[in-house]
Every structure is written in C-alpha cells, then in structure tokens.
Amino acid sequence: MTKFRQFINNLKVSGTLRNFALQAETTEGYINTQLMKPYKTPRKRLWNKLIDASNGDLTQGDMVEHFMMSKETSCQ
C-alpha cells in the first residue's frame, strides 16, 4: 500500500477526509473514486494542493510512488 493510500485511509478513519478535501480544493468523492485506485493522475495544481493540505505528511516522492509507480505495476 502506498503512503498516499495509507494517508487517505487514515483520514477516513479519523473523519477528517472532508476537511482535507476542502483544503486541497477538491471533493471526497473525487479522491475516493479517481485518486485512490489511481484512475487519474491529478494535474499539477491539485497535485501540489494535496501535498500542501497534508501538512507535511505527503511528499512529491509519495505522490510519484502512488500515481506513477502504481500504474506501471498494474500494466505489467
């Protein structure tokens, strides 16, 4: 499981996913349906907003691992 996935799952458990989504200027639904698998790679603006909204818990490397490496693994 990627760090991004763990982070989002922890937000769900603690009930703070909605606040995180608002800070990142997106929705819980978009995070759950498009970003968790990941079906879509967020554009640069949202990518950076997600990192900023994590308050240091997510890094560029964590995002690359989730969005780029996950797709490579699923294609093999």
Q: Where are the domains of the chain?
A: 17-70
* pLDDT tens string 51-63: 999 999 999 999 9
Decide if pLDDT at 44 tops 50. yes
Instruction: Output the CA–CA distances (angstroms, integers) from residue 32 to 7, 19, 50, 55, 76, in the order listed.
Output: 12, 14, 13, 20, 24
Residue whose entry in the numeric block shows the structure tokens 């603690």: 14
Long-range (24+ apart) CB contacts under 8 A made by 39-44 are: 41/67, 41/68, 41/71, 42/67
Q: Report whether 21 contacts 33 (CB < 8 A).
A: no
pTM listed for this prediction: 0.89
Decide if pLDDT at 21 tops 70. yes
